[in-house]
Amino acid sequence: MGAAGGDDDAPWWRKGVLYQIYPLSFADSNGDGYGDIRGIVEHLDHLQWLGVDGIWLSPITVSPNADWGYDVADYCAVQPEMGTLADLDVLVAAAAERGIKVLLDFVPNHTSEEHPWFVESRSALDSPKRDWYIWADPKPDGAPPNNWVSSFGGPAWKRDATTGQSYMFNHLSSQPDLNWWNDDVRATFDEIVRFWFDRGIAGFRIDVCNLIVKDKELRDNPDATEADGPEEQAFGQRMVYNGNRPEVHDVIRGWRAIADAYPEPRILIGETPVDDGEALARFYGDDDELNLAFNFPFITAEFAVGPLRTIVEEIEAHLPPGGWPAWTGSNHDMFRFASRWAGGDDRKIRAALVMLLTLRGTPVLFQGDEIGMVDVVVPHELMRDPLGVRYMPHYAGRDAGRTPMQWRDAPGAGFTDAGVTPWLPIGDAAARNVDAQRADPDSVLALTRDLIALRRATPDLHSGAYESLAGPETVWTFRRGAATVVVLNLSDDDATVDITGTVVFAPDRDRVGGALTAPVALRPWDALVLAT
């Protein structure tokens, strides 16, 4: 790849835009209030029109839904309420006809307690599957085997009556963690990976990728210190031994080797909630681990130049040669950027979309981002996320970002039939919906679509290098490739920048085509893409 210029031969997922579908809330084709695979098929035209290249589906595999699909009870079968394997084949084929690849969620850290492996494992000390999970004796006084705490709060161990031993879990106690030191576990997951890749699945998003391997000796985590972040303070310890182990990289390398061996290489995207760019870059290995790793500090950063630019520069500095960032503002755990970054303000939402779609890296939009969907306040009695149910009023859980897609202003919002109670309440579909925004050339949806098209048509944008440019404190100015410059005024104040060029994109459409000469005046939350 030319370091400065663009590269038309870059792989599809570098040049393209990915889109996360949360199937339960995308489209309900059979009127039961829950989204399903057929519903996705019925809305592929929207995704093609929007211009996305790949969709990542949150879990569609069999699950008792303690954690809405992230508690898997069968890795190679489709949840009956979502459809069948045949439906998934239809989706893959219909998506392919529209130039869209399908990626699945892959949850190798833990299973459901209802998975037959765990049922067998817990049945006896000498069960052939005993060592597939992490079992240990409680302390003589009955205390848990060590001090590990679960990411969802409380001890990471549960004593099991059948044998008196405890099993380990990093999330809900109904999600026992697998033992990745066991070779049969590894071999079985290799088969699962091949099962889906052979079916035409283009890649995986790997759930809690950084947690998979635990300390073999089950050592206690060190206590948090004042120097640690808020999460460590809240848990009282640093997650050194129940995740973030260096041995996880061998596991990822193994999957990457499988993915690369396909004639059309499959891709691996990690859920990698680590603190800094250096730790994140390690998940790319020597370009032999993840293809893309989600940047959580970016998602949680304040929507301001300083914090965001620092994070971008940091990952740019640490990525191995060939490494490629991923940029996302919303997902089913972290809520919606239209609320978090933009407080529902349309100018800020537009500026955020320009940022996400012009940085060097693969943008991953979450369903609804394209219309600026905001978080929805879900009352306690309607909550579905076990975390909200458990922790209200201290924590409202993750339902606010998981509410149904707003397709049109009608009962059911085009998500489900009129008269059907959707599994989660629907937000303000009159304020934001796909149909109305499609009819409006000045909508957020039109902006998203045009930006995706511009990115595709402009090698500088889809594969050119990133370089921060000097400018006022509240304005983020960066160059992409040889001749494209992006200017983002992330503030409520006017500003001026010393830049000269032709506007190729701006949320204020009447500016497009204009030739600008320094000094250029910017209004609050202005965003410009310039050819220089």
Instruction: Just list the catalytic residues.
Output: 207, 271
Coil vs helix vs strand at 370: helix
In order, the DSSP letters of 193-233 are HHHHHHTT--EEEETTGGGSS--TT-PPPPBP-TTS-HHHH
- Considering only 43, 101, 171, 336, the residue that binds ligand GLC (CB under 6 A) is 171
Q: Which is nearer to ligand GLC, 50 or 209 (CB)?
A: 209
Shortest reach from residue 274's CB to ligand GLC, in Å: 13
The torsion defined by the Cα of 429, 432, 434 and 435, in degrees rounded to 10, comes to 80
Alpha helices in 332-469 (DSSP H): 337-340, 346-358, 386-391, 434-438, 444-457, 459-463
Looking at the Cβ atoms of 333 and 467, the one nearer to ligand GLC is 333
Number of residues near ligand GLC (by CB under 6 A) = 9
Tell me the closest approach of the beta carbon of residue 271 to ligand GLC, in angstroms: 6
Contact residue for ligand GLC among 81, 333, 417, 450 (CB under 6 A): 333
**Gap between the Cα atoms of 390 and 385, Å rounded:** 9
Per CB under 6 A, the list member of 28, 36, 53, 67 interacting with ligand GLC is: 67
| Helix spans in 320-421 (H) | 337-340, 346-358, 386-391
- Quick one: which H or E segment has residue 270? strand 267-270
The least CB distance from residue 306 to ligand GLC, in Å, is 28
And the tokens for 369? 């981002």
Task: Report the distance separating Cα 310 and Cα 341, nearest Å.
Answer: 17
Per-residue contact string for residues 264-293; x = within reach of ligand GLC by CB under 6 A: -------x----------------------
Contact of 498 with 517, CB cutoff 8 Å: no
Q: Position of tokens 């989660």?
A: 424
- Here the tokens at position 528 are 């410009």
Tokens of 437: 């925004």
Q: Whole-number minimum distance, CB 59 to ligand GLC, in Å?
A: 9
Q: Does 207 participate in binding ligand GLC (rule CB under 6 A)?
A: yes
Q: How many CA atoms lie within 13 A of 6 on its CB side?
A: 19
* Shortest distance, position 125 Cβ to ligand GLC, whole Å: 27
Helix (H, G, I), strand (E, B) or coil at 337: helix
Of the pair 193, 319, the CB lying nearest ligand GLC is at: 193
Rounded-to-integer distance, Cα 21 and Cα 27, Å:
10
Residue 208 engages ligand GLC in binding (rule: CB under 6 A): yes
C-alpha pair distances (Å), 152 with each of 118, 174, 347, 401, 515: 20, 12, 35, 18, 53
Q: CB nearer to ligand GLC: give 57 or 516.
A: 57
Shortest spacing between CB 444 and ligand GLC, in angstroms: 25
| Contact between residue 224 and residue 238 where contact means Cβ atoms under 8 Å apart | yes
Residue 474: CB minimum distance to ligand GLC, A = 33
Nearer CB in complex with ligand GLC: 107/413: 107
Q: Does 177 bind ligand GLC (CB under 6 A)?
A: no
Query: Beta-carbon neighbour count of residue 219 at 10 Å?
Result: 14
Q: 106 is written with which tokens?
A: 């892959």
The two structure tokens encoding residue 55: 């969709």
Q: Considering the complex, state which of residue 314 and residue 385 has its C-beta at the smaller distance from ligand GLC.
A: 385
Q: For the CB of residue 468, give the shortest distance to ligand GLC in the complex, in Å.
A: 31
SS3 364: strand
Q: Where are the beta strands (DSSP E) in 396-440?
A: none
Tell me the closest approach of the beta carbon of residue 251 to ligand GLC, in angstroms: 17
Distance CA 294, CA 383 (A): 27
Does the protein bind ligand GLC through residue 70 (CB under 6 A)?
A: yes
Q: Which residue has the closest beta carbon to ligand GLC?
A: 70
| Residue 296 binds ligand GLC (CB under 6 A) | no
Of 190 and 333, which CB lies nearer to ligand GLC in the complex structure? 333
Binding of ligand GLC by 113 (CB under 6 A) = no
C-beta separation of 265 from 291 below 8 A: no
Q: Residue 14 or residue 171: which is nearer to ligand GLC going by CB?
A: 171
Nearest residue (CB) to ligand GLC, 62 versus 107? 107
Tokens of 383: 């909550």
Contact flag: residue 417 with ligand GLC (CB under 6 A): no
Give residues 334-373 in contact with ligand GLC (rule: CB under 6 A).
Answer: none
Query: Which residues here bind ligand GLC, judged by CB under 6 A?
Result: 67, 70, 107, 171, 207-208, 271, 332-333
